[in-house]
Amino acid sequence: MSLNTIILNFFKKLLGSALEYKFSSFFIFLFSIASIILVDKNFYYGSKEYIYLINIIYASSVGFLLTLVAYFSKKKKTLLAVSLFLTGLYFYYLPFNKDYSIVIFFTNYLCIIAICISLLLYIPFHNEQRDNQRFLNWAINIIESIVISSIFGIILFVSLYIAITSIVILFDLRIEKFIYAQYLAIIVFGVFCTHYFLLSLNKNPQASELNLTFYNKIGNFFSKYILTTIVGIYSLILLGYIIKILFLQEWPNGVVVWLSLTFAIFSLLTYIFWTPYENRYKKLLVFVALIQLSLLFVAIYMRITQYGWSTNRYMIVLIAIWLVGAFVYILIYKKYRYDYIFLTFALMLFISQYGYKINSYYVNDIAQLNRLTQLLSQNSELSNKTDKTIRCNISSAIDSLYTYRNIEFLNQAMPNIYDNYKSIKDKEYSNRYYNFPNYATEKLGFKYLSNWECGKNQTAYQNDNIYIYSNNTTDIIDVSGYDVMNRNALTIFHENIKYTIKIPTKDNLSFSEFDISDFINKFKKSDTNESKNVKYNENDMTFIAQDKNMKIKLFFYSMSISELSGDVVYPSTYILIKYLK
């Protein structure tokens, strides 16, 4: 058989998978087209066009998975209609303005993806007889399809990228590598990989047989020597920690929460992957996981008692309850089904995101509202001389409520402050950027204190980093005279003693490069850096430059400079651009 025939047959199979999964394929192309337009037009971050295209991209990826779930159901037509309706509903409720919670947006999206994957595992076995082996076969088939399609995609992308780069260099074409690399990535990973993934899926999971070649060579090795080893190591660590607690009579700290949770998850995965083997010691693993989960509940109870509820603590408790339920279900019910375990996981995630007054965000906001209300009632006269702990707690509570955009609770705790903020931002200073937590604390009588200033999140910088931030108390940026403002979209390149930044031109076909070495080096040479925690005024933190393509103004709100490597890490910036051509 000739190479042309092999390639032609392969593309016929890809086309066949596209026709078989019509709606899923439609969402793949919708995702790809929206991504290409977004790259091509280079819309300003926050513009209506940018937000609209981003929403299409996110909704398309959700639609792809929801319709794929429907194709594996016995009631395919009904579930396809439901999937399309839910995709439209998801798109409708996506934020179409700049004032939204990024945390909620991304957490919702990731949870929906996890729900879809859990349903994809469950739906083929709905109303079917119990068969955990076939469930594992189906799960392995999905993993195998993802891995193989990703490997083929990487090989294809690298090959085509090298070929296109060679053409550009040989024929002296003026095309930036970054530009065609983006288009190529969208086509290869957005179109080819997803259709190859669809092609690789077993069309009838209920009758699927275990791929012995794959399982014996990879799955068996993964189960015996990777998962089991990891579980054993975590078990020894937690056992040693329990012994330490008993001897020293001290309570567990917060780190044990993540250790226990990780151990329990790996224990469940190990148990599932050991399904082909009748091992009488498998359930011992479940007993050990249950015992060590008790550490998690003790530690998380202490954290909640001390600091109150938060979104993270809510999710940890919910996942821990699900794990305990799964382990108890396996122990007491002889005819347990893995698909039910993943169905309850999907339901749990749905409740955590959309449960009425029991979702993670509402629980967090109620805790922060009570905390903020109590602090404000106990401290009526606030100023920069008020105890730092009180100012830190108030700043943290306001920041949390604003992060999750609970405007109702903000107005309840601080009447009219948010409304005044919106009025000033939208009317008087439409050309300026305001940060609400700074504005709110200023109205309360003191300067906002960040987590860094309150002594949190400093471990990454204590040894070899200089942390620099602005003393701008209002966080107001004058954008008059500029066309575009982007936030935190900057990479600083460092080579020897030279620091440079690259900013795409208006047509997105090339870059303007600016040397900011003098600007960065002045912070490294400052005598005040001995404290490794330095404030500068707004002028010191502002960099202005111009070339034939554009005029730029960079305001650095904060950054960290490594004393060992000299790299600039975690720059928090506002980039203002005035295009000259």
- Quick check: 319 pLDDT over 90? yes
> What are the Cα distances from residue 87, in Å, to 55, 79, 92?
11, 12, 9
Task: Determine which helix (DSSP H) or strand (DSSP E) holds 546, and give its type and residue range.
Answer: strand 542-546
| 251 pLDDT more than 70 | no
More confident residue, 407 or 516: 516
pLDDT digits (tens, 9 = 90+) for 324-375: 999 999 989 888 999 999 999 999 999 999 998 899 999 999 998 898 898 8
- pLDDT above 70: residue 433: no
The answer to whether the CB of 442 falls within 8 A of the CB of 488 is no
Question: At residue 532, does pLDDT exceed 70?
Answer: no
pLDDT at 429 over 50: no
Question: Across residues 160-185, what is the average pLDDT?
Answer: 82
* pTM of structure: 0.75
Mean pLDDT, the chain, rounded, equals: 82
Q: pLDDT digits over 26-56, tens only?
A: 999 999 999 999 888 877 777 788 889 999 9
Alpha carbons 421 and 424: distance in angstroms, whole number: 5
- Contact (CB, 8 A) for 115 and 122: no
pLDDT at 460 over 60: no
User: What is the secondary structure of 469-537 as a DSSP string?
Assistant: EE--SS--EE-TT-SEEEES----EEETTEEEEEEE-TTSSSEEEEE-HHHHHHHHH-GGGGGSEEEE-
| Dihedral of alpha carbons 123, 124, 125, 127, sign | positive
Residues 6 or more apart in contact with residue 518 via CB below 8 angstroms: none
Would the pLDDT of 184 be above 80? yes
- Rounded Cα distance, 308 and 312, in Å: 11
Question: Which pair of structure tokens corresponds to residue 236?
Answer: 């020894």
Digit-coded pLDDT (tens) for 258-289 = 878 888 888 888 888 776 666 666 777 788 88
> Measured between alpha carbons, how far is 537 from 224 in angstroms, rounded to an integer?
58
Residue 211 confidence (pLDDT) above 90 = no
pLDDT at 1: 59
The answer to whether residue 537 scores a pLDDT higher than 50 is yes
Rounded CA separation 507/487 (Å): 20
Residue 22 confidence (pLDDT) above 80: yes
Nearest alpha carbon to residue 125 among 330, 317, 341: 341
Question: 88 pLDDT band (50/70/90 cuts)?
Answer: very high
Helix (H, G, I), strand (E, B) or coil at 335: coil
- The predicted pLDDT at position 327 comes to 92
Q: What per-residue confidence (pLDDT) applies to 528?
A: 45
